[in-house]
Chains A and B, each alone.
Chain A
């Protein structure tokens, strides 16, 4: 099992360009998440999907859109990239429940916006 796979691992964009970060999981997780991590900081939730067909905003959704294509895939789209979106993006999957909730993370996608 690959776990949670993110592509691309690295990307450089110019301001105003668009791109989509792909995430796929083979762990049969119901919920999937997109976080961003800025230098020396923790993770901030961008969007999450509790189940196939549903998405909800997190703490910092502005400038992003998401698609839960099916149970396995959850993509993050930047329509018009800005330098403030330079960050490392992490996708995660997990099962939800009161006493569960461990997340499994991908290795990250490092995005630089010039």
Chain B
């Protein structure tokens, strides 16, 4: 079974709106990462948040981490058509394996 699970599975918004997606995981982690995948392409790393951090920003991205609830959220502000993609959370428990969730498909309509 997957370590991380994203919610919702799909999200459709208008350009300029904010997009929020959530990730829940099962075991304790060293860090949690978010990746983007454009259609037909490989995954691209967006942001990494450590287990001792609660919030992190990168441009229009804001990530939060609540280790007590074993959950994280990714907020994309002022979305653009180019943000249309699938977004995956990935967790690194102790050890080397990076485990991915099922992803959230985001459609930003112009």
Contacts and interface: CB of A to CB of B under 8 A. Distances in A.
| Contact-residue bracket for chain A | 20 to 34
Contacts of B33: 101-103
Given A42-B2, A43-B88, A99-B30, A104 B97 contact: no
Given A43-B43, A107-B41, A108-B41, A98 B98 contact: no
- Which of B33, B40, B41, B42 is packed against the most chain A CB atoms within 10 Å? B42
Contacts of A31: 96
Contacts of A98: 30-31
Given A99-B31, A101-B31, A101-B92, A42 B45 contact: no
A106 B42 contact: yes
A22 interface: no
Contacts of A107: 41-42
B48 interface: yes
B45 A103 contact: yes
| Contact-residue bracket for chain B | 20 to 34
Given A101-B92, A102-B33, A90 B43 contact: yes
B102 A41 contact: yes
> Which secondary structure dominates where chain B touches chain A?
strand
Nearest to A99: B50
A20 B88 CA distance: 27
B97 A101 contact: no
A4 B102 CA distance: 23
A14 B28 CA distance: 42
B30 A108 contact: no
A104 B41 CA distance: 12
B1 to A, nearest CB: 9
Interface of B: 2, 30-31, 33, 35, 40-45, 48, 50, 88, 90, 92, 96-103
Given A48-B97, A90-B42, 14 more contacts: A41-B102, A42-B88, A43-B88, A44-B2, A45-B97, A58-B97, A92-B43, A94-B98, A101-B48, A101-B98, A103-B43, A103-B90, A104-B45, A105-B43
